[in-house]
């Protein structure tokens, strides 16, 4: 590739909201040690603001309880586990994004369940039982955690357009659920932020359009529109694993833009936040692509554009403690997480870490195309370069600067950070020993590099190589040279 001249006066819109939210397996898993170890690692290295998962009202969390007294069925609530879960989140600096679901078995109108852990996905037999439970929980959370709970996002259900997640994918029944829930929450305190319809894939444009038509007709203004975003074709299942082909990034982003266009077509809803409350490549927890460097590079391209039409976008999920289709057999099983079991970061972990570092470095974007994004601040320049499944390439960027600069690079590619390959070369052990786990953690790190860049004639060139399925983060900052008396670096290196 030729040189790319950077105009430092450019002002390119770039909503880098990489750290807004991350997904999790069902909330009950937060009671386990491995889950919290993975979340602690993610929060230390990336630091997400919110976390969203299924199962808030499922029976393993045990909020909804019934008992009989004098021949009458009565209701009580148990917050022992949810307090323990949310306390753990807040201690790690992350707040719940409340997905309201699934249905407590004793409240459910039917027996349909989903997943290994049998979340009930039927409407309530009595909507007042449902709304009373929701409001009671909000009151409890507010009394325990204070007024900050008013800032926690609320989403009504999960993927009601799919029959497995909502009985018969009944649109009218979901609209009733949304209206009853929204109305009850707003009657309690209108400051709570309530969104929906949390749809995924199937008939997404129809569902968004009719959802907003329903809200308009009912005089409801949701605080956000929510949907999901996955980017693979239907998978081929072999044994325990799903193999999927990636879809073209442009087509998938166009699908997201269609949601924004529908929202903007309603005068009542123009500018409403759109939260992508789940996104990834594969939509299956056995999607082998999740463990690869290709996943990391592809998602770099997604992260550079998802903020164009969405307020936020939540990666599904932070870790591989996840049991939708059963307990995993191996540490690399295609799980959704950016961290494999054993607290082993996958390459995708660093894509998110790099975009978070970019956000912390600066928010003034001066360059963005299909393989790179660059920002500036008073500290200098920072950027990310990625290569989605093509031959190695080198890009040279020319900056209009003078003096000396320090170039720091962090590289993740198939040669420098590929724990999946090391595990394969080790013989694919299904149950890692302590030594094997330590080895895989040690190899799952970026390669650091540095150089001194001297500007000539008011400009400086930096050349970055992105290998196949690679992601490179860089910082270019002014260099102040302050050697101690008598210290000669060149002489040190040449001394014999």
Residue 16 counted as domain residue: no
Helices (DSSP H) in 266-345: which residue ranges? 293-303
Decide the pairing of beta strands 224-230 and 241-243: unpaired
Residue 315 counted as domain residue: yes
Structural domain range at position 369:
3-10+364-494
Contact 99, 157 (CB under 8 A): yes
In terms of domains, do 300 and 380 share one?
A: no
What CATH number does residue 443 fall under? 2.60.40.1500
The stretches in the chain having pLDDT less than 50 are: none
In terms of domains, do 434 and 473 share one?
A: yes
What CATH number does residue 112 fall under? 3.20.20.80
Residue 61: which of 21, 20, 120 has the closest Cα?
Answer: 120
| Three-class DSSP category at 103 | strand
- pLDDT score, position 496: 64
Mean pLDDT of the chain, nearest integer: 96
In terms of domains, do 405 and 439 share one?
A: yes
Residues belonging to the active site: 159
In terms of domains, do 392 and 406 share one?
A: yes
| Three-class DSSP category at 314 | strand
The partner residues of 280 in beta bridges, in order of sequence, read 230
pLDDT tens-digit profile of 372-393? 999 999 999 999 999 998 899 9
Residue 483 counted as domain residue: yes
| Three-class DSSP category at 183 | helix
| Three-class DSSP category at 205 | helix
In terms of domains, do 147 and 113 share one?
A: yes
Residue 284 counted as domain residue: yes
pLDDT tens-digit profile of 415-466? 999 999 999 999 999 999 999 999 999 999 999 999 999 999 999 999 999 9
In terms of domains, do 371 and 325 share one?
A: no
Give residues with Cβ within 8 angstroms of 238, minimum separation 6: none
Residue 19: which of 402, 437, 352 has the closest Cα?
Answer: 352
Q: How many C-beta neighbours within 10 Å does residue 326 have?
A: 12
In terms of domains, do 263 and 301 share one?
A: yes
pLDDT tens-digit profile of 235-272? 999 999 999 999 988 888 999 999 999 999 999 999 99
Share above pLDDT 90 across residues of the chain, in percent, rounded to a whole number = 94
Residue 15 counted as domain residue: no
Last residue of a domain, one of 360, 383, 406: 360
In terms of domains, do 172 and 245 share one?
A: yes
Last residue of a domain, one of 340, 360, 380: 360
Tell me the whole-structure pTM to 2 decimals. Answer: 0.94
Helices (DSSP H) in 311-455: which residue ranges? 347-361, 419-425, 434-443
Residue 384: which of 348, 409, 349, 415 has the closest Cα?
Answer: 409
Residue 340 counted as domain residue: yes
Share above pLDDT 70 across residues of the chain, in percent, rounded to a whole number = 99
User: Tokens 């603001």 belong to which residue?
Assistant: 49
Residue 469 counted as domain residue: yes
DSSP state of 169: G
Domain count, the chain: 2
- pLDDT score, position 250: 87
pLDDT tens-digit profile of 463-489? 999 999 999 999 999 999 999 999 999
Residue 398 counted as domain residue: yes
In terms of domains, do 485 and 426 share one?
A: yes
Last residue of a domain, one of 312, 330, 360: 360
In terms of domains, do 340 and 402 share one?
A: no
In terms of domains, do 349 and 380 share one?
A: no
In terms of domains, do 55 and 204 share one?
A: yes
């Amino acid at each position: 590739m030729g040189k790319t001249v950077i105009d430092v006066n450019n002002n390119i819109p770039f909503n880098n909201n990489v750290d807004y939210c991350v997904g999790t397996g069902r909330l009950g898993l937060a009671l386990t040690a491995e889950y919290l170890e993975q979340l602690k690692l993610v929060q230390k290295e990336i630091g997400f603001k919110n976390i969203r998962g299924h199962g808030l009202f499922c029976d393993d969390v045990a909020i909804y309880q019934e008992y009989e007294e004098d021949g009458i069925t009565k209701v009580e609530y148990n917050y022992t586990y949810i307090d323990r879960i949310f306390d753990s989140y807040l201690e790690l600096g992350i707040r719940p994004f409340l997905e309201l679901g699934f249905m407590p078995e004793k409240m459910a109108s039917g027996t349909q369940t989903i997943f290994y852990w049998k979340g009930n996905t039927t409407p309530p037999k009595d909507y007042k039982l449902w709304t009373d439970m929701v409001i009671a929980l909000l009151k409890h959370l507010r009394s325990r955690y204070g007024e900050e709970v008013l800032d926690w996002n609320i989403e009504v259900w999960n993927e009601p357009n799919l029959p497995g997640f909502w009985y018969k994918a009944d649109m009218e029944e979901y609209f009733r659920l949304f209206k009853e829930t929204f109305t009850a929450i707003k009657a309690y305190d209108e400051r709570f932020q309530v969104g929906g319809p949390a749809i995924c894939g199937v008939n997404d444009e129809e569902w968004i359009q009719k959802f907003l038509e329903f809200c308009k007709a009912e005089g409801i203004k949701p605080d956000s529109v929510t949907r999901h975003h996955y980017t693979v074709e239907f998978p081929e299942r072999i044994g325990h694993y799903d193999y999927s082909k990636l879809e073209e990034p442009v087509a998938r982003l166009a699908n997201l833009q269609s949601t924004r266009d529908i929202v903007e077509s309603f005068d009542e809803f123009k500018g409403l936040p759109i939260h992508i409350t789940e996104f990834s490549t594969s939509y299956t927890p056995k999607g082998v692509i999740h463990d690869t460097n290709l996943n990391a590079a592809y998602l770099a391209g997604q992260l550079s554009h998802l903020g164009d039409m969405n307020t936020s976008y939540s990666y599904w999920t932070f870790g591989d403690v996840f049991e939708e289709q059963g307990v995993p057999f191996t540490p690399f099983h295609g799980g959704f997480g950016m961290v494999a079991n054993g607290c082993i970061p996958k390459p995708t972990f660093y894509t998110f870490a790099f975009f978070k570092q970019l956000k912390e470095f600066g928010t003034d974007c001066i360059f963005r195309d299909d393989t790179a994004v660059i920002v500036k601040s008073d500290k200098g320049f920072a950027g990310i370069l990625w290569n989605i499944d093509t031959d190695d390439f080198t890009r040279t960027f020319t900056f209009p600067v003078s003096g000396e600069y320090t170039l720091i690079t962090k590289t993740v590619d198939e040669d420098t950070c590929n724990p999946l390959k090391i595990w394969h070369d080790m013989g694919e052990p299904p149950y890692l020993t302590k030594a094997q786990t330590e080895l895989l953690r040690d190899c799952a790190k970026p390669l650091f590099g540095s150089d001194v860049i001297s500007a000539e004639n008011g400009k400086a060139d930096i050349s970055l190589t992105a290998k196949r399925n690679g992601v490179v983060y860089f910082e270019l900052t002014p260099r102040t040279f302050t050697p101690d008396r008598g210290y000669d670096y060149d002489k040190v290196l040449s001394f014999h």
